[in-house]
């Protein structure tokens, strides 16, 4: 609870770019507005901004408990690099979750670069495949969540405008925004450990 208050959770709800109003029933849209955030606070990973997608993916798996707390109540982890075979070809979903309240799969695609319109096309493809290959009769349609380093809101809105699968685009926050002049004056974690004999 304290971590959620410190990370301004209230201000991050309902800020993601989504197409939920057009693609989902009103009751689900309201619930999703309370679930999806922007940005997602991933400071617990202790990563720098210039990371590669593989490193971000690996760190999220290593810190799945913290990531599930950031995602919020109801998310159940299904798999990492979850394999799907479509048309005789293998595809791998970055992260696959099932949401207990929404009763649907949630496909999470990770991007450490700026959002590009083609990212939504790939996520749309994954949602179609999950709905055909994994979704059971009582499950609702799958939802996509694209987490990226940053996005141009207008470009993201255009990218989702005519997409019929429900998806949202949110940024990830890897570090608190400290000015460089302050950051260079702060001790590193190694210096702190040596100073306080934390090893």
Spans of all domains in the chain: 2-196
> The whole model's pTM is what?
0.80
pLDDT on residue 89: 97
Query: Would you state the pLDDT for residue 49?
Result: 75
- Count how many Cα atoms sit within 13 Å of the Cα of residue 27 in the half-sphere of its side chain: 4
| Selection from 146, 140, 143 nearest residue 166 by Cα | 143
Q: Are 43 and 176 in contact (CB under 8 A)?
A: yes
What pLDDT is recorded for position 70?
95
74, 102 Cβ separation under 8 angstroms:
yes
Q: Could you read off the pLDDT tens digit of each residue along the chain, which spans 199 residues?
A: 444 444 444 444 557 999 999 999 888 888 888 889 999 999 999 887 788 999 999 999 999 999 999 999 999 999 999 999 999 999 999 999 999 999 999 999 999 999 999 999 999 999 999 999 999 999 999 999 999 999 999 999 999 999 999 999 999 998 765 545 555 565 655 665 566 555 5
Tokens of 189: 């974690």
> Could you give the C-alpha distances from 20 to 49, 76, 150, 197, in angstroms and in order?
29, 21, 20, 51
Residues 6+ positions from 10 with CB-CB distance below 8 Å: none
Per-residue confidence (pLDDT) for residue 2, from 0 to 100:
47
CATH classification of 2-196, choosing from 3.30.200.20, 3.40.1350.10, 3.10.450.50, 3.10.105.10?
3.40.1350.10
């Amino acid at each position: 609870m304290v971590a959620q208050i410190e990370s301004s959770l209230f201000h991050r709800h309902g800020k993601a770019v989504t197409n939920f109003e057009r693609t989902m029933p009103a009751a689900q849209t309201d619930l999703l507005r309370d679930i999806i955030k922007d940005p997602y606070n991933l400071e617990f990973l202790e990563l720098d901004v210039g990371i590669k997608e593989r490193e971000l993916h690996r760190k999220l798996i290593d810190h799945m408990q913290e990531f599930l707390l950031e995602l919020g109540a109801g998310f159940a982890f299904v798999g990492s690099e979850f394999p799907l075979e479509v048309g005789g070809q293998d595809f791998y979903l970055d992260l696959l979750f099932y949401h207990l309240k929404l009763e649907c799969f949630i496909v999470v695609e990770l991007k450490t670069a700026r959002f590009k319109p083609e990212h939504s096309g790939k996520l749309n493809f994954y949602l179609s495949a999950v709905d055909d290959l994994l979704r059971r009769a009582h499950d609702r349609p799958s939802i996509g969540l694209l987490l990226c380093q940053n996005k141009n809101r207008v470009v993201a809105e255009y990218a989702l405008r005519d997409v019929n699968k429900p998806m949202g685009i949110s940024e990830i926050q890897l570090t608190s925004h400290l000015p460089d002049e302050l950051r260079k004056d702060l001790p590193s974690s190694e210096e702190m450990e040596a100073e306080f004999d934390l090893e």
